[in-house]
Amino acid sequence: MLEKILQMKKNNEKIVMVTCYDATMAKIMSNSNVDMFLVGDSVGMTKLGYENTLSVTMDDMIHHTKATARGTNKDKVVVVSDMPYKSYEDDPKLAAENAKKLIDAGADMVKLEGGLEIIDSIKAIINEGIEIVGHLGLMPQSIKKMGGYKVQCRDEESQKKLLEDSLLLQKAGVSMIVFEGIPETIAKTVTEKLDIPTIGIGAGRYCDGQVLVSDDLLGMFTDFTPKFVKKYANLAQVIQEATAQYSKEVKEGKFPQEVNTYK
Ligand code: KIV
């Protein structure tokens, strides 16, 4: 499956990635013609009620990776699992051990945020034969350093670093790179210089693929909608209205009816 996806860049076919965090959604979205599920550490905000991704643990990621893998049709979809904050940055040996735990939980690949700063961890993981998705640009695990969720790579120096980091990751053997929150022009330039695919989120139209957080595209997350998100449904409203209707019918004695009752 991964080979086929990597070939898509050469064939000029767009790669589709979407976040997925549990078996129910994995079963449904396995039939939605997507190529990759990302068990993102965005699970911290979308499902676990954390303020950001920094509180997500290896145990959280293992739990949600197992659930997602159980529901995924692996003939159709590759599962990528995020390595959470502090599980890989400072210690290559620990990085390789933790990457292996996510693979054992059912991931096909792991994703890490960073370039040169984490290259030793990247190499240690690849040495174990584990496939990697890189992540550059806006890196949510570095929001404190970046001063919040701000578009990155607007100046020449940071654009140069994006290109250097991308080439470094490619040389190290990383299979593809997520570009988050960067101007379209620089995403296009770097995408054209790389042999490996780029997957954009808030990175414009010219990456080799796109990723969105499923709660955003399905309209489950209602706090705010960033510019780069397109809502394809309004599930928050559907869920709220369906549940309110159920409540009304119970309170009015209209549910259950005879048809819902065992004899
Ligand atoms: O955790 C996540 O959902 C991600 C995407 C934003 C790419 O890393």
Instruction: Kindly report, residue by residue over 94-125, the tens digit of the pLDDT.
Output: 999 999 999 999 999 999 999 999 999 999 99
Give the ligand 1 atom nearest the CA of 199.
Answer: 7
Q: Which of 201, 214, 228, 229 to mutate to test the pocket of ligand 1 (most atoms within 8 A of CB)?
A: 201
Per-range mean pLDDT, top range of 86-100, 134-148, 221-235:
86-100
Distance of CA 253 to the CA centre of its chain: 44
Q: Could you tell me where the DSSP H helices lie in 54-155?
A: 58-71, 92-104, 119-127, 143-146
Q: What share of the chain is helix, strand, coil (3-state, %, to 5)?
A: 45, 15, 40
**Contact by Cβ (8 Å): 117, 89:** yes
Determine the average pLDDT of the residues in 201-222: 96
Q: Which of 89, 113, 131, 180 is catalytic?
A: 180
Q: Which domain holds residue 206?
A: 2-232
- pLDDT over 90 at 248, yes or no: yes
Same structural domain for residues 97 and 70? Answer: yes
Query: How many Cα atoms occupy the beta-carbon half-sphere of 235 within 13 Å?
Result: 10
Q: Is 258 known to be catalytic?
A: no
Q: Establish whether residue 213 lines the binding site of ligand 1, counting it when its CB lies within 6 angstroms of any ligand atom.
A: yes
Provide the mean pLDDT of the chain: 97
Task: Write phi, then psi, for 247 (nearest 5 degrees).
Answer: -60, -45
Interval between CA 193 and ligand 1 midpoint (Å): 23
Instruction: Give how far Cα 62 sits from Cα of 14, 37, 56, 58, Å.
Output: 29, 15, 11, 6
The residue whose CA has the least distance to atom 2 of ligand 1 is: 40
- Assign 224 a pLDDT band (cuts: 50, 70, 90): confident
How many angstroms separate the CA atoms of 238 and 61, rounded? 28
Q: How confident is the model over 230-252, as a mean pLDDT?
A: 97
- pLDDT, tens digit, 9 for 90 and up, residues 48-100: 999 999 999 999 999 999 999 999 999 999 999 999 999 999 999 999 999 99
- The neighbouring-strand residues paired with 37 are 18, 79
- Contact yes or no for 236/222 (Cβ under 8 A): yes
Residue 178 has pLDDT above 90, yes or no: yes
> What pLDDT sits at residue 145?
87
pLDDT at residue 16 is higher than 90: yes
Question: Residue 181's closest CA among 122, 232, 227, 134?
Answer: 227
* Residue from 137, 179, 134 nearest 154 by CA: 137
Same-domain pairing of 143 and 132:
yes
| Residue 107 Cα distances to 85, 102, 103, 170, angstroms | 18, 6, 5, 21
Region 224-250: mean pLDDT is 96
12 vs 59: CA distance, rounded Å:
38
> What's the 52 CA to ligand 1 centre distance in angstroms?
11
Q: Which residues fall within 8 angstroms of residue 152, CB to CB, at 6 or more apart?
A: 137, 138, 146, 158, 162, 181, 182
Q: Are residues 225 and 257 in the same domain?
A: no
CATH (domain of 92): 3.20.20.60
**Looking at the predicted structure, is the pLDDT value of residue 148 above 90?**
no
Co-location of 244 and 148 in the same domain: no
Q: Would you say the CB of residue 41 lies under 6 angstroms from ligand 1?
A: yes
pLDDT (average), residues 178-190? 98
Asked if residue 239 and residue 163 are part of one domain, the reply reads: no
- pLDDT attached to residue 90: 94
**Ligand 1 centre and the CA of 263: distance in Å?**
49
Residue reference for tokens 């397109």: 230
Q: Does 17 share its domain with 6?
A: yes
How many domains is the chain partitioned into structurally?
2
- 184 plus 250 within the same structural domain: no
Taking Cα atoms as reference points, which of 85, 109, 113, 89 lies closest to residue 99? 109
Atom of ligand 1 nearest to the CA of 40: 1
Kindly state whether residues 87 and 196 are assigned to the same domain: yes
| Predicted pLDDT of residue 255 | 98
Best residue among 180, 198, 217 to mutate for probing ligand 1, ranked by most atoms within 8 Å of CB: 180
pLDDT for position 225: 86
Measured CA to CA, the distance from residue 36 to residue 30 in angstroms comes to: 9
Ligand 1 geometric centre to CA of 37 (Å): 11
Q: Is 42 in the pocket of ligand 1 (CB under 6 A)?
A: yes
- The pLDDT-based confidence of 223 (bands split at 50, 70, 90) is confident
pLDDT, mean of residues 236-257: 98
- Identify whether residues 119 and 58 lie together within a single domain: yes
| Ligand 1 centroid from CA 255, angstroms | 41
Atom index in ligand 1 nearest the CA of residue 46 equals 3
